[in-house]
Amino acid sequence: MTSLHIFAPLLHTLWFLVPILILGVLFKSPWSNWTMGEFVINKSIKRNLDPQKFYLLQNVTIPCDEGLTPAEK
């Protein structure tokens, strides 16, 4: 008996857990946390600040002693 015969019924029964696990790993990653955080901040800035007075700058890099660093740090 191969491992395919053992795991096939289990996978057929619990197929819905695979996408949930993939999404869970994706949302726990630092990249997704940064992306979602940037999205929330950018939307709230655009919604709450007057566009005639304020302009949203994204991906700003500033000089420092060690070279260049993103402005978020």
What is the tens place of the pLDDT at every residue in 12-21? 777 888 889 8
The residue among 62, 46, 42, 66 whose CA lies nearest residue 54 is 46
Domains of the chain, by residue range, sit at 3-70
The model's pTM: 0.49
Extract the tokens encoding 43: 């939307």
What is the tens place of the pLDDT at every residue in 22-46? 888 888 888 888 888 888 888 998 8
Strands (E), 1-73: 61-64, 67-70
Has residue 61 got a pLDDT over 80? no
Has residue 53 got a pLDDT over 70? yes
In this structure, are residues 54 and 62 in contact, taking their beta carbons and an 8 Å threshold?
A: no
Mean pLDDT of 55-69: 71
